[in-house]
Amino acid sequence: MAQNLQSTTTLHNGVAMPWLGLGVFQVAEGESVVESVKSAIRFGYRSIDTAAIYGNERGVGQGVREALAETGLNRSDLFITSKVWNADLGYEPTLAAFDATMEKLGLDYLDLYLIHWPVKGKYKEAWRALETLYKQGRVRAIGVSNFHVHHLEDVMADAEIKPMVDQVEYHPHLAQPELRAFCRANGIVLEAWSPLKQGKLLDEPTIVKLAEKYGKSVAQIILRWDLQNEVVTIPKSVKDHRIAENGSVFDFELSAEDMALLDGLNRDERVGPDPDNFNF
């Protein structure tokens, strides 16, 4: 089980991926994202998750470089993820999108590259491109985001390399039991975006009570639930104290009863689009 912010899970190709990372969705390009990346790495985070569509890859790259210079860490100590956007899905377009991402990040390689959404008729060609990048050693691991079980099965039907990660909306109101079971059975690591349901879970009475019981914040209870369910998670924040708070979930453990209480909150309720029904 994860002991600290540097604790990792092992992907099916042997690559170590931190259990907890910083997400930068909706963090503005420029100083805001540079500073949040630096703050997170300073505090002990080793994983940073961005995407082409977030429009902040340059700032993430700058934050990474400045943090490395400041802390004396090596690039190999960090785990950087980005994602290819829907408009760039396809074999050649995905390869070109990867080049654009790397130019913006200013890095020599990426740790994880994901297909952001399962655009019908396009994601299988994009997956071939990810396999090419992986074989070339330009990315250490490849995966998908927002893929349901049937999308994963479709990719795996003719993939040479199966996805290592599926990053999806996951929180106590959307516990995705079938997807979790499928990923576990197939050696795919499940990763949570929007673990706090974009703040909508912060006044959920059951979680508020547990926070009081453990002397922790509601966010910390939810992130701990993720970890104990063996789900990698990437909470987003631009505030130093929140980044620190989100990273301080390794000094307590939820009891089996309390885990079951949290599991029981599932409503199959999304805050983001349904991967079977989106039009962007």
Show the tokens assigned to 68: 């490395």
Of 54, 113, 123, 170, the catalytic one is: 54
Burial class, 266, CB count within 10 angstroms (exposed 0-12 / middle 13-18 / buried 19+): middle
Among the listed residues 84, 28, 21, 29, the one whose alpha carbon sits nearest the alpha carbon of residue 52: 84
The label of the residue with tokens 């939820």 reads: 254
Q: How many CB atoms lie within 10 A of CB 72?
A: 7
Is position 214 annotated as part of the catalytic site? Answer: no
Among the listed residues 86, 27, 85, 87, the one whose alpha carbon sits nearest the alpha carbon of residue 60: 27
Are 10 and 16 in contact by the 8 Å Cβ rule? The answer is: yes
Q: How many CB atoms lie within 10 A of CB 239?
A: 11
Backbone angles phi, psi at 203, to 5 degrees: -120, 20
Q: How many CB atoms lie within 10 A of CB 54?
A: 22
Contacts of 129 (CB under 8 A, 6+ apart): 90, 91, 92, 94, 95, 98
The catalytic site residues sit at: 54
